[in-house]
Amino acid sequence: MKTVRMLVPALALALGGTAGTALAADVRIATEGAYAPWNYLDDSGELAGFEIDLGNALCERAGVECEWVQNEWDSIIPNLQAGNYDAIMAGMSITEERMESIAFSDAYYPPDPSRYLTTAGTELDIENLEGKRIGAQGATIQAAYAEETFGEDNTILTFETPDQSIADLMAGNLDLIIADGSYLMPIAEGSNGAMVLTGPYVMIGNGVGMGLRQGEDELATSMGEALEALKADGTVDALIKEYFDAGPFFAE
Amino acid sequence: MLDALIAWTAGTFGEGPAGTLAYLTNGKHLAFYASVRFTLIAAFAGAAIAVVCGLLGTAALRSRIAPLRWIGTGYTTIVRGVPDVLFFLFLPLAFEQSVEWVMAQQACPAEALAESGRWPPCQAAQWFLTTTDYLVLACFTLGIVYGAFAANVINGAMNAVPRGQLEAASAYGFTPGQVFWRFQVRQMWVYALPGLSNVWMLLLKATSLLSLLQIQDMVLWANRIGAPNFIPRVGAVHGDWRWRYYLALFVFYILLTLLSEHLFRRLQRNASRGMAIG
């Protein structure tokens, strides 16, 4: 009995720490937190990245209190629809298919060509791949593209998080990876030549935007106006320059 | 040996011992260490519930009422036979959806209920599970699953108490209730403890499944921190280090096991004081 009586406060204490902040903010924004430099956990364990900075700037401009929620990629759209949060900023490309289930803001990053990443010294003929093991993150436009383009003659492997696919490429379990260029480029650079970008640029997707529930026009309007203003005053371009060393894309 | 180990880690995680220490104490790592609380809560609360379920299960198994006996047999047989991973996925989800179903019956308009293909039928019946809710569900799942094992152990231990002792007790004039509580149940613990310590070890191991329920436990953090990183601004640049963190978890569980074995030995000694066995 003594143990039980001690457990109850311990349980309440440990739980209070995680649950206390829930639902306090006006707008809850979900991100994956495993997609540097878009969104990631920094060394202090906090969410950081291009989208975190941009999202905070958007909320400040729109005059709302925002809270970030970390959610796994493969359930990020269902949980938006379920009302667990109000918006998604997770490097999500605007596609026709996703537009059927959710709404999008205007793009805050222009269409980002997908790239192929492979290990140094691997010769690949992207046009005629056969018997290769190709990695992509599950439920992404690249996974769909790889399945459609290479699925017949190759093995397509999908991963829950993109860094798992990188680990498997390095371990020799994959021949190549297809993913957003903006994600793969810093990895290729940082790997000191161990991994290289190869093959053509693949244009899929229509830019990256904020995912919203359909029919929530008030939030869509206020976020849309804030984004418009931040594009006009150069904030978005400055952030893109800072994180991706690219642009400017939205300068007047 | 220890020196070699320190030297090896010092060179492995950063620039010298100071760098290693800084790396191992950054916020990400502190969050990783703090996530141990989920594992410990699940283990202790799960074990407490398992003992209750085990006693109830035993009572049902030994009941004079046939339907109760069937329930007891069904519980121990079915639950012990199904892999705990499946139970971990099944019970919380089934519970969430049944709660949502009940909420939907009360809160949703009739036309929403009639419309199929949408779950839950309306927004009002949506139950958003927090980490807390998931942890509570995880504790109950562990309790129910390992309670079935505990029931089997306790039932066997009840049978192991020598009949002669019980007969002797009644011969001395103890009432049937006294014989049951003071002789059979009291001695049962001595026979049950080795089996229960086994069940506890199994339960402890099963706490590594918490991340299946979106609880940010040690396993999830080990995956996260160990993942390769090539971008300096994100944090320390390193290759695939997941094995190092898995190894740390490995050691953590072994230490817990050793500690539990020690505690159970002491418990056993205490429980069998003044008895001819143990």
Give residue B105's pLDDT.
86
Helix axes A217-232, A235-244, angle to 10 degrees: 80
| A185: containing domain | 114-202
Domain count along chain B: 1
Give per-residue pLDDT as tens, A224-237: 999 999 999 999 99
Tokens 């569980």 map to which residue? B253
Average pLDDT over residues B153-168: 95
Report if residue B107 sits inside a domain.
Answer: yes
In order, the DSSP letters of B7-62 are: HHHHHHHSSHHHHHHHHHTSHHHHHHHHTHHHHHHHHHHHHHHHHHHHHHHHHHHT
Give per-residue pLDDT as tens, B47-101: 999 999 999 999 999 999 999 999 999 999 999 999 989 998 899 989 988 998 8
Domain count along chain A: 2
Q: Is the pLDDT of residue A20 over 70?
A: no
Residue B91 belongs to domain with CATH number:
1.10.3720.10
Same domain as A217, residue A106: yes
| B87: containing domain | 33-210
Q: Do the bridges between strand A114-119 and strand A195-202 make them parallel or antiparallel, or are there none, so unpaired?
A: antiparallel
Q: Does B117 touch chain A (CB under 8 A)?
A: no
Average pLDDT value for chain A: 88
Minimum-distance CB partner of A84 among B29, B128, B135: B128
User: Chain B closest CA to A20's CA: distance in Å?
Assistant: 10
Q: Is the pTM of this model over 0.90?
A: no
Report if residue B157 sits inside a domain.
Answer: yes
Residue A92 belongs to domain with CATH number:
3.40.190.10
**Are B28 and A163 within 8 A, CB to CB?**
no
Q: Which residue of A has its CA nearest to B241?
A: A167
Give residue A206's pLDDT.
87
* pLDDT above 90: percentage of residues in chain A: 74
Q: Which residue of A has its CA nearest to B45?
A: A7
Report if residue A251 sits inside a domain.
Answer: no
Same domain as A90, residue A33: yes
Give per-residue pLDDT as tens, B202-254: 999 999 999 888 899 999 999 989 988 888 888 888 888 999 999 999 999 99
Same domain as A197, residue A118: yes
Same domain as A158, residue A126: yes
Same domain as A217, residue A195: no
Report if residue A250 sits inside a domain.
Answer: no
> Does the structure's ipTM exceed the value 0.95?
no
Q: Do the bridges between strand A87-88 and strand A208-212 make them parallel or antiparallel, or are there none, so unpaired?
A: antiparallel
Report if residue A233 sits inside a domain.
Answer: yes
Give the whole-angstrom CA distance, residue B105 versus residue B87: 26
Give per-residue pLDDT as tens, A166-219: 999 999 999 999 999 999 999 999 888 999 999 999 998 889 999 999 989 999
Report if residue B148 sits inside a domain.
Answer: yes
Q: Which residue of A has its CA nearest to B220?
A: A72
Average pLDDT over residues B159-186: 94
Report if residue B106 sits inside a domain.
Answer: yes
Report if residue A19 sits inside a domain.
Answer: no
